[in-house]
A and B are shown apart, each in its own frame.
Chain A
Amino acid sequence: MSVKIALAGNPNSGKTTIFNALTGSSQHVGNWPGVTVEKKDGRLKGKPDVVVQDLPGIYSLSPYTLEEVVTRNYLVAERPDTIINIVDASNLERNLYLTTQLLELGIPVVIALNMMDIVRKRGDKIDASKLQDQLRCPVVETSAIGGDGLQQLISQACELAQLGKASQPQIVFSQRLEKTLAQVGDLLETAGLLKRPELKRWLAVKVFERDEKLLAELHLSDTVQQQLEKMTAECEAELDDDSESIITNERYEYISRLLQQAAKKTLATGQLSLSDKIDKVVTNRLLALPIFAAVMFVIYYVSITGVGALLTDWANDGVFGDGWHLFGIGSGAYEAAAEIDPDADPAEFGVWVPGIPVVLENLLAAVNCADWLQSLVLDGIVAGVGAVLGFLPQMMMLFIFLAILEDCGYMARVAFIMDRIFRRFGLSGKSFIPMLVATGCGVPGVMATRTIEKEADRKIAIVTTTFMPCGAKLPIIALIAGALFAESGWVAPICYFIGIAAVIVSGIILKKMRFFAGEPAPFVMELPSYHLPQVKSVLLTMWDRSQSFVKKAGTIILLSTIVIWALSSYNFSMQPTETQDSMLADIGRTVAPVFAPLGWGDQWEAAVGTVTGLIAKENVVSTFGSLYAGLDEVSEDGNEFWAVVAAKYTPLAAFSFMLFNLLCAPCFAAIGAIRREMGSLRWTAFAVGYQCALAYASAMVFYQIGILLNGGTFGLLSAFSLALLAVFLWLLLRPEPKARQNKIQTVWES
């Protein structure tokens, strides 16, 4: 018989880490709340009949947020056999608030006291057996990261599921409140509204709280409704508070009594923990932004220009080039010889490993493969896919750094810091969470906007999220940075800041439109404690993202390179021809004039790359790789591809090309995600149209003003660009449609 075990708990309590450990899955784990938006299923390792379900993190069973609705509906309607309530033991008081509600559902509950390693490190003490006695359910100490206690936890959960008996609800509230809840429960029972007797207490509490969603579902008769209202009002009058606050206060009072017996803290109230001390600096009103800018600058600099570039050079020149000296054996001797004789063969020195193109070329020649097929493999597939995979080392470096920032807890602070800026312009800080997710891939980034309750704010977030440079856009950045700005380390970091700036600027412009106007959604976020990044978690995140990149290179990019090769090798009469006379060149030349005001309209290859980039953004680079592969006699040091690109574009035009491709419509998968989340074709068209318009205008203004500043002549396009800039500034600076009062609460609990 199949057993369903649900993992429920507060955001960032470690549910996904436990889910991964129990099921062997590799769902993304992030050290910030809101990583899990939807329910995820997995089968228990070694016991395929046990289904484990990872539910979104919630603070209560009140339907305030989408996550709470998803979790509550699931628990009440589908009723798993057991709930594993994952409790962050380092923040027990707040976490037990949900526990007291889960215990009322009449489903067997096992409590996992997670993050016990942090509790012990702090010197705090929690008596699990006392908690167990008081809460009347098994309590297991765990540390999800180290895997401690997980075996015991799952055994207890399976045992309870087989018994199928829930613990009796604990007397949590005062006598007066318990009396009213009993009356409400009895009335619901008499009125025949209890479909499940075990839900009696939970329903009584929710009806007493006047839970609108539940009351609507119950379809109460007028008489029952009046009687319930009378009972609730009497209790409210006696306890001098509204019903919802009465329940909340009494739950916390109960938890406080419970913790007095079962927990002991070393840190006195008001004393700062290490996390608090670090936060005093990194979230400081004045220092926060410079620190964030410095951190991102260093990360992008080291990944794209520094160490990452060295590794990419090796990948491009060695693995996807002529070859390399294994562990550098013989490279010194070759360099010395090359100074005397520039035609010296590196293969004659040390241990020489030939590159993939060389090996394949020899192999294809050995089997007498037809020339056209050799060209397809070498100039099409290897050049295209190789051009993309060559950037893998840089991406892996960046993914490692971003994963470290996420895992240690700094990225959660970034959302907090960004909230300060966002709310100044009437935007919700909650919009920054999807943007953090989008630095990996735009698709989950767009989907993460579901956590934003306010429709207008959510739509703004959907339109702007893909401005962040995702993993697929990194090869474009790396290509332009490497080929044209080799000595400048600022190109890569600036792309990240361009993404953030585009989000903020678009947010301001859109918020001033009638549809989007209004107060931003409140942003409540709990900042997790800092901890040292876990090597396994960091490598897993990096591997996940890199694997996705490699998979794309081996699937959609490979297919695209075949099509691009075919189109660039034949003319419309289906005769083999030079690339310049091919179908692709004709198509590219037709499209290219559109981009003339942006500075790269004379390069049809760039126009083609931009269009193929809609399939997957990596295609921009693979298209360049395929189309410029035939022109590889520019340099002899293996850097042919980059050198061709450098020779074809001016720095201004190249930056304008990069700017356009960073900001324009994302790939089809992300556009599909936008359509799904917007739920309408019209809004999808608006999003894509806005993104393309902003990209075009930004690239044009940048290029035309750049030309003017470099001594160019003032012409029609310059005037048009200046006018465009003026309109842009007006949209940005015009007064708001109505005075807006900021009522945003940012709750900072650590």
Chain B
Amino acid sequence: MGTVVVGVLVFGSAGLILWRMWQRHKQGGGCAGCGGSCSGCSGSCPLPQKPKSR
């Protein structure tokens, strides 16, 4: 039971992080793990893909 709970916590968190990063990437900010908090990219993705929305 303990293994299931911890496993869900660990892999659930990892999945959530991946999903959040993907969402941010789609929105054009905070991609590639920079978290988007330094604001240097002005919310636009520094990766070559064009931001889909602002």
Contact = CB atoms under 8 A, between A and B. Distances in A.
A377 interface: yes
A27 B38 CA distance: 8
Contacts of B13: 558
27 contacts: A37-B42, A38-B44, A40-B43, A364-B2, A368-B2, A369-B2, A370-B3, A373-B3, A443-B38, A443-B40, A443-B46, A447-B41, A448-B40, A548-B38, A551-B35, A552-B33, A556-B21, A556-B32, A558-B14, A559-B17, A669-B32, A669-B34, A669-B47, A672-B32, A672-B45, A675-B48, A676-B47
B34 to A, nearest CB: 5
A544 B39 contact: yes
B40 A676 contact: no
A504 interface: no
Interface of A: 26-28, 37-38, 40, 364, 366-370, 373, 376-377, 381, 437, 440-441, 443-448, 544-545, 547-548, 551-552, 554-556, 558-559, 562, 615-616, 667-670, 672-673, 675-676
Contact of B3 (A369, A446, A545, A551): A369
A562 B14 contact: yes
B14 A27 contact: no
A377 B10 contact: yes
Contacts of B42: 37-38, 40, 447
Interface in B4-27: 5-7, 10, 13-14, 17-18, 20-21
Contact of A556 (B2, B10, B33, B47): B33
Contacts of A37: 42
Given A373-B6, A376-B10, A368 B1 contact: yes
A679 to B, nearest CB: 10
Given A28-B40, A443-B40, A447-B40, A676 B6 contact: no
Contacts of B17: 554-555, 558-559
Interface centre among B5, B42, B45 (most CB of A within 10 A): B42
A443 B34 CA distance: 9
A554 B45 CA distance: 20
* Chain A residues touching B, majority SS: helix
A369 to B, nearest CB: 5
A548 B35 contact: yes
B48 A676 contact: yes
A103 B38 CA distance: 35
Nearest to A673: B46
Q: Which of B6, B31, B41, B46 has the most CB of A within 10 A?
A: B46
A544 B37 contact: yes
A654 B4 CA distance: 41
Contacts of A547: 35, 37
A444 B46 CA distance: 9
Nearest to A555: B17
B17 to A, nearest CB: 5
A687 to B, nearest CB: 14
A555 B17 CA distance: 6
Contact of B6 (A364, A441, A556, A672): A364
Contacts of A559: 14, 17-18
Given A368-B1, A447-B41, A558-B13, 7 more contacts: A369-B2, A548-B37, A555-B17, A555-B21, A558-B17, A669-B46, A670-B46
A367 B5 contact: yes
Contact of B46 (A447, A448, A616): A447
B6 A367 contact: yes
B15 to A, nearest CB: 10
A444 B32 contact: no
B46 A672 contact: yes
A377 B8 CA distance: 12
Contacts of A366: 2
